Amino acid sequence: MILLDGAKVANERNLMLKDMIDKDLVKYHRAPSLSIILVGENPASQSYVKGKGKACKLVGINHQLYNLKDDVTEEELSNLIEKLNQDESVDGILLQLPIPKHLNEAKLIDLISKDKDADGFHVINQGYLYQKKPTIYPATPKGIMTLLKAYDIDVSGMDAVIIGRSNIVGFPIARLLMDAGATITVCHRQTKDLAYHTKNADILIASAGRAELVTKDMVKPGAIVVDVGVNRVDGKLVGDVHFEGVSEVASYLSPVPRGVGPMTINALMENTYELYLKHVQK
């Protein structure tokens, strides 16, 4: 089994990005800038935001963290987003999800200017994606595609099975894999017999958020398995794939942690850089 080492690939790409940003700093006289909005004190979100801030520092992106109280009103959060939309020194805006239930997540995401949508979640950017037009891709699916490419994995003609159909992972990765030539099956909680589908997969993307849902008996020998899930069990991070068992049958497998997570952060850095170029080259 070959480990899909997201931490290694992401680090290499971040260093390349740093070189590009260093050069652009001389050319455009300013660094890219990302504003991160965190609502409340969810420890998992705090840790993701910390990781994103660290990556910004590494690649040379200026970042500002807005940590709002968890009782912030929708109006206050909307005002902050509007202010950042207007601010010409801001290239990217990221609203760390999930946000408290009293806030309308979809509405707030769409309030972020589509030209500053570093996460690629805006309805218009997702619309471009589904119409195969150039756009900012959602960070996790983009990171997965980059990881596969780094290992010279060509999915064309493969049967791809995706567990999960969320707007930020399952559905867009299905689209990108389909565009890359794979034949797609998307599974979810109403799927009658999950193992029936997963056993046919040449490439399996596990993004259900259920600890060790995918076991060895559910994987076809030689399959490529990408584990997106991040679950905390007894204080430890585990994926949606039972790593030890599945590593005995898979040809490629991404670990958790150090798999898709760092690739997602790298994709976010690359998205912010893309937005920056559009702004400085205007």
Ligand X SMILES: NC(=O)c1ccc[n+]([C@@H]2O[C@H](COP(=O)([O-])OP(=O)(O)OC[C@H]3O[C@@H](n4cnc5c(N)ncnc54)[C@H](OP(=O)(O)O)[C@@H]3O)[C@@H](O)[C@H]2O)c1
Q: Which residues are catalytic?
A: 52, 96, 119
- Could you tell me if 258 and 14 are in contact, meaning their C-beta atoms sit under 8 angstroms apart? no
Site for ligand X in 219-248 (CB under 6 A): 228-231
Among 114, 199, 210, 258, binds ligand X (CB under 6 A): 210
Q: Taking the complex as a whole, how short is the minimal distance between the CB of residue 173 and ligand X, in angstroms?
A: 9
Q: Which stretch binds ligand X (CB under 6 A): 70-78, 201-209, 246-254, 274-282?
A: 201-209
> By three-state DSSP, how is residue 38 classified?
strand
What residue type is 239 in one-letter code?
G
Interface with ligand X in residues 118-177 (CB under 6 A): 140, 163-166, 168-170
Q: Binding residue for ligand X (CB under 6 A) from 10, 145, 226, 260?
A: 260
- Candidate ranges 10-18, 30-38, 113-121, 188-196; the one touching ligand X (CB under 6 A): 188-196
What are φ and ψ of residue 177, in 5° steps?
A: -70, -40
Q: Which of residues 24-53 bind ligand X (CB under 6 A)?
A: none
Whether residue 10 contacts residue 266, with contact meaning beta carbons closer than 8 Å, is answered with yes
What are phi and psi for residue 88, nearest 5 degrees?
A: -70, -15
- Is residue 106 classed exposed, middle or buried when 0-12, 13-18 and 19+ CB atoms within 10 A define those classes? exposed
Tell me the closest approach of the beta carbon of residue 83 to ligand X, in angstroms.
Answer: 27
Coil, helix or strand at residue 253 = strand
Q: How many CB atoms neighbour CB 88 within 10 A?
A: 7
CB-wise, 93 or 208, nearer to ligand X? Answer: 208
Cβ closest to ligand X, residue 90 vs residue 109: 109
Least Å distance, CB 94 to ligand X, is: 13
194 makes contact with ligand X (CB under 6 A):
yes
CA dist., res. 171 & res. 123, Å (int): 13
Among 187, 205, 225, 238, binds ligand X (CB under 6 A): 187
Q: Which of 113, 125, 261, 274 binds ligand X (CB under 6 A)?
A: 261
Peptide bond into 138 cis (omega under 30): no
Contact (Cβ atoms closer than 8 angstroms) between residue 270 and residue 17: yes
Catalog residues that contact ligand X under the rule CB under 6 A: 140, 163-166, 168-170, 187-191, 194, 207-210, 213, 228-231, 260-261, 264
